[in-house]
């Protein structure tokens, strides 16, 4: 049985075209989109993070790897989003102010769409007031905040505080996530929930909104 070694190596080496090609090959061989994502693309990116930490990789290598992962994700996106369920609720997703990491946020958005949610993508480096404005404008039921830097975690609290001070906190549930985030931090800043990956994010969204799993 074919494993994902080559795909992981291509993510690490930032080989965009090969990543897309290998993802297609695995799908043709009968692998599921979720399996390719969970066991091929994401572990490849985790190794990139480790190499960066150890000083073996620098920003350009990280960027190339991120682009190659996105190329793979583009192939998987229609499959992960395929769902015959009518939108159950609206989720506004964004990466908080000061932070431009969007791979995790995009994965969560893809999985939520696959779970039947309508997702409005606020993008990256989103200021607290912008989240409130977009939530009002779009009538979002749930807000998903993503942060990958310890230095931008406080932006999550600022965002929750902005919903509170602008009198809109009661209208929405707020979930948070990202590599440095914990359940303790979610409790500390008054978020309604935390999930450590995209699959759990869908479960959490359903739980918070009382939607049947």
Q: Given the rule CB under 6 A, which residues bind ligand B12?
A: 42, 45-46, 48-49, 52-53, 59, 62-63, 66, 98-105, 107-108, 144-146, 148-151, 175-180, 195, 197-198, 201
Q: How far is the CB of 193 from ligand B12 (least distance, A)?
A: 7
Q: How far is the CB of 40 from ligand B12 (least distance, A)?
A: 12
Nearer to ligand B12 (CB atom), residue 29 or residue 100 = 100
Q: How far is the CB of 33 from ligand B12 (least distance, A)?
A: 14
Q: How many of the other CB atoms lie within 10 Å of CB of 204?
A: 22
| CA neighbor of 142 nearest in space, from 116, 165, 119, 124 | 119
Q: How many of the other CB atoms lie within 10 Å of CB of 81?
A: 16
Nearer to ligand B12 (CB atom), residue 49 or residue 116 = 49
The shares of helix, strand and coil residues in the chain, as percent rounded to the nearest 5, are: 60, 15, 30
Q: How far is the CB of 137 from ligand B12 (least distance, A)?
A: 20
Which strands form 118-126's sheet, in the order they lie side by side? 118-126, 90-96, 142-146, 173-177, 193-194
Asked if residues 24 and 75 have their Cβ atoms less than 8 Å apart, the reply is yes
Nearer to ligand B12 (CB atom), residue 104 or residue 128 = 104
Q: How far is the CB of 116 from ligand B12 (least distance, A)?
A: 16
Nearer to ligand B12 (CB atom), residue 83 or residue 183 = 183
Nearer to ligand B12 (CB atom), residue 70 or residue 171 = 70
Burial 36-53 (b: 16+ CB within 10 A, else e): bbebbbbbbbeebeebee
């Amino acid at each position: 049985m074919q494993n994902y070694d080559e795909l992981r190596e291509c993510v690490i080496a930032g080989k965009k075209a090969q990543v897309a090609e290998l993802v297609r090959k695995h799908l043709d061989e009968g692998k599921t989109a979720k399996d390719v994502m969970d066991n091929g693309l994401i572990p490849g990116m985790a190794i990139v993070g480790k190499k960066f930490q150890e000083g073996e990789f620098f920003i350009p290598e990280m960027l190339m790897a991120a682009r190659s992962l996105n190329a793979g994700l583009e192939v998987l996106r229609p499959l992960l989003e395929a769902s015959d369920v009518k939108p159950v609720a609206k989720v506004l997703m964004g990466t908080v102010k000061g932070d431009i990491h969007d791979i995790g946020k995009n994965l969560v958005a893809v999985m939520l769409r696959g779970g039947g949610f309508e997702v409005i993508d606020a993008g990256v480096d989103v200021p607290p007031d912008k989240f409130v404005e977009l939530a009002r404008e779009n009538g979002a039921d749930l807000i998903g905040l993503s942060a990958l830097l310890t230095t931008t975690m406080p932006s999550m609290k600022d965002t929750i505080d902005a919903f509170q001070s602008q009198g809109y906190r009661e209208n929405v549930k707020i979930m948070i996530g990202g590599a440095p985030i914990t359940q303790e931090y979610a409790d500390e800043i008054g978020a309604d929930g935390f999930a450590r990956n995209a699959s759990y994010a869908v479960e959490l969204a359903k739980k918070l909104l009382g939607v049947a799993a």
